Amino acid sequence: MNDRIKADTIIEAKWIIPVEPDNVASTDHAIVISNGIIKDILPVSEAKQRYNPQQTITLNNHALIPGLINLHTHAAMTLLRGLADDLPLMDWLNNHIWPIERQHVNSQFVYDGTKLACAEMIKGGITCFNDMYFFPESGVEAIIASGMRAAIGIVVIDFPTAYASDTDDYLAKGLALRDQYHQHPLLSFCFAPHAPYTVSDEAFNRILTYAEQLNTPIHIHLHESSDEIRINLESTGMRPIERLHQLGLVGPNMIAAHMVHLTEQEIKLVHDYGCNIAHCPSSNLKLANGFAPIPTFLNQGINVGLGTDGAASNNRLDMFEEMRQAALLAKATSGRADILPANQALKMATLNNANALGLGDKIGSLAIGKAADITAISFSDLDLTPCYNPISHLIYTASREHVSHVWVNGKMLLQDGELITLNSRELQHRSEFWYKRIKSTPI
């Protein structure tokens, strides 16, 4: 007994679905955690003999998966959820979202909205997200309070906002924030130019220089709608991705959100230059932007991840929904039921996203030496019985309401469906405050 190895926590589960190796569900296994790192994954019987943990958590009818990663979102926009539904993208942006943002978005809005988003994401099994929004320093405060992991966007947009006045100001503030927090164990950074139609060539050139010097991803909306492509053709004579290619931005550090409308040549360009795609099926559907050619991307070996977009255009920060939508849409648009199987949808929401963020060596799969970012899903409800294949069940049957526990870096953020680090009543109060304030504002 005294020869057993000390450990902080052992989580015993009915299934462990590690993502690496692919399409594996180990039965009656345990994850051993020490100092926030996965120390071992082995059968429960062996774990009991080998380790002496400070605590053991037994989840007899649960599946453990890597914490889900949201590759594209605007967290603070939870406070704009449902504000301007059923509108096309440019009308939605120009006549509703941007006017409201000009009047209301400030550091407190971002802090409150990001906290609300973190609560929703934690409850839905998301442990990490890639954010793009104003006042990121306030977003960082909220994220740290929540205990989540996040990639913070260094936002750049051509027009002045309450956050920054011009390109110099956006970059200076974003880079100062990165300098302050780049050693934080749960934070990383991306340059986040909004879109080709809102960012100048000069700004893109500066972003590229910084991104190459700092080896930092570039996160951008790209080929989201036919209107975006038309605007770029009218203003530059080029389609957006060709313009970015000529500027040198197209490469393995690019995370291109949406990517709905592409030609065969453009898909080849994405493949040849190793770009990453953040597929946002629910947002694409809601804004009527079309169907991204995901089966073609996958057949080409392009790294495709999944994101929710913001709650203003989805209206849920729900990666279970995105996994299911992605799988079903791929089948419908390709006419092939075997396209994008369940294990691949799970990989898109975990390891593919981690690789896009440059974090694949730390998160995205349950592997020895990686961070203990873990989500537990209870299979106890009647609507999840019987279960013949737990991986298939995760994608086609389970939902975020079945998430029971969440850990980030070995720290529990959700226990039996209840938030630990965030106060639901406080979040409800702040949400109501902003609702009343925004509702009373004429657009």
Query: Phi/psi at 275 (nearest 5 deg)?
Result: -75, 160
What's residue 295's pLDDT? 96
What is the Cα–Cα distance from 319 to 307, expressed in whole angstroms? Answer: 7
CATH of domain 68-356: 3.20.20.140
| H/E element, 219 | strand 218-222
What's residue 443's pLDDT? 64
Does residue 82 surpass a pLDDT of 80?
yes
Q: How long a stretch of residues is the chain? A: 443
Q: What SS3 class is residue 27?
A: strand
In the block, which residue shows the tokens 């995205």? 364
pLDDT per residue as tens digits for the range 277-333: 999 999 999 999 999 999 999 999 999 999 999 999 999 999 999 999 999 999 999
* DSSP label of 402: G
Starting at the edge strand that comes first in sequence, how are the strands of the sheet with 126-131 ordered? 68-73, 126-131, 149-156, 187-193, 218-222, 254-258, 276-279, 303-306
**What is 5-66+363-419's CATH topology?**
Urease, subunit C; domain 1 (2.30.40)
What's residue 2's pLDDT? 64
What is the Cα–Cα distance from 319 to 387, expressed in whole angstroms? Answer: 21
Share above pLDDT 90 across residues of the chain, in percent, rounded to a whole number: 97
In the block, which residue shows the tokens 């200076």? 172
pLDDT per residue as tens digits for the range 194-209: 999 999 999 999 999 9
What's residue 441's pLDDT? 80
C-beta neighbour count of 303 within 10 angstroms: 21
What is the Cα–Cα distance from 258 to 253, expressed in whole angstroms? Answer: 16
Tell me what the pLDDT averaged over the chain comes to: 97
User: Environment class of residue 87 by beta-carbon count within 10 Å: exposed (0-12), middle (13-18) or buried (19+)?
Assistant: middle
Does residue 442 surpass a pLDDT of 80?
no
- For helices 107-123 and 136-146, angle between their N-to-C axes, nearest 10 degrees: 40
- Among residues 315, 436, 355, 417, which one has the least CA distance to residue 71? 355
Query: Phi/psi at 36 (nearest 5 deg)?
Result: 80, 5
Query: Phi/psi at 19 (nearest 5 deg)?
Result: 75, -40
- For helices 201-214 and 240-247, angle between their N-to-C axes, nearest 10 degrees: 60
pLDDT per residue as tens digits for the range 332-376: 999 999 999 999 999 999 999 999 999 999 999 999 999 999 999
Query: Which two three-digit tokens encode residue 162?
Result: 């309450």
Does residue 146 surpass a pLDDT of 70?
yes
Query: What would the mean pLDDT of 173-202 be, rounded to a whole number?
Result: 97
What is the Cα–Cα distance from 165 to 152, expressed in whole angstroms? Answer: 20
User: Environment class of residue 125 by beta-carbon count within 10 Å: exposed (0-12), middle (13-18) or buried (19+)?
Assistant: buried
What is the Cα–Cα distance from 353 to 373, expressed in whole angstroms? Answer: 14
- DSSP labels, 31-61: EEEETTEEEEEEEHHHHHHHEEEEEEEEEEE
- Among residues 19, 100, 11, which one has the least CA distance to residue 60? 11
Query: What would the mean pLDDT of 34-38 be, rounded to a whole number?
Result: 98
Does residue 394 surpass a pLDDT of 60?
yes
- For helices 167-181 and 201-214, angle between their N-to-C axes, nearest 10 degrees: 20
In Å, what is the CA distance from 102 to each residue of 96, 140, 181?
Answer: 10, 21, 27
- Contact of 343 with 44, CB cutoff 8 Å: no
- DSSP labels, 354-376: HHHTT-TTTSSS--TTSB--EEE
Q: What SS3 class is residue 339?
A: coil
Domain ranges for the chain: 5-66+363-419, 68-356
- Dihedral of the CA atoms 95, 101, 102, 104 (nearest 10)? 130
- Contact of 281 with 321, CB cutoff 8 Å: no
Query: Which two three-digit tokens encode residue 249?
Result: 């931005």
Question: Residues near 362 by Cβ (< 8 Å), separated by ≥ 6?
Answer: 354, 370, 371
What's residue 353's pLDDT? 98
pLDDT per residue as tens digits for the range 248-288: 999 999 999 999 999 999 999 999 999 999 999 999 999 99
| H/E element, 342 | helix 342-348
Q: What SS3 class is residue 141?
A: helix
What's residue 398's pLDDT? 98
What's residue 89's pLDDT? 85
Does residue 96 surpass a pLDDT of 60?
yes
